Amino acid sequence: MYGPEGDEGAERAGYRVHLCFGPNCSPRESRALLPVLEAAVAREGLADRVEIIATSCRNRCDYGPSMNVYPGPTFYNELTAEAIDEIVREHLKKGQPVTRWLFRPKLLRPSVPSRKPRHFSR
């Protein structure tokens, strides 16, 4: 089965986790998070219900390390070992996404007041 169905369903749910090994996440230590993720999944007794896949770019390069959890998808970013442990305990074990590690786009620049249209005379 693939997907949580409330609390009871989440107990049985299967998840697929995509951890980014892309060119921007790798220098941010995403590869070092794989053994952390594998160990946390094993420690929580989820090895038969969680599939872990090292993937290419997840298209959130400025926010890496990136990880997607399916079903969802739920997008996690700026991950650390602490984040991985918490996501495994709360999301993958209990079915509760961990809001503090969710992807949140940064404001790239403050809003700029719109210009008045130019009027050209002939």
Interface with ligand FES by CB under 6 A: which residues?
20, 22-25, 57-61, 64, 66
CB 87 within 8 A of CB 39: no
Q: Where are the alpha helices (DSSP H) in 25-119?
A: 30-43, 81-87
Q: How far is Cα 84 from Cα 109, in angstroms, rounded to an integer?
A: 30
Q: What's the min distance (Å) between Cβ of 76 and ligand FES?
A: 11
Identity of the residue, 22 or 95, whose beta carbon is nearer to ligand FES in the bound complex: 22
Identity of the residue, 29 or 85, whose beta carbon is nearer to ligand FES in the bound complex: 29
Identity of the residue, 42 or 53, whose beta carbon is nearer to ligand FES in the bound complex: 53
Q: What's the min distance (Å) between Cβ of 96 and ligand FES?
A: 24
Beta bridge partner(s), residue 99? none
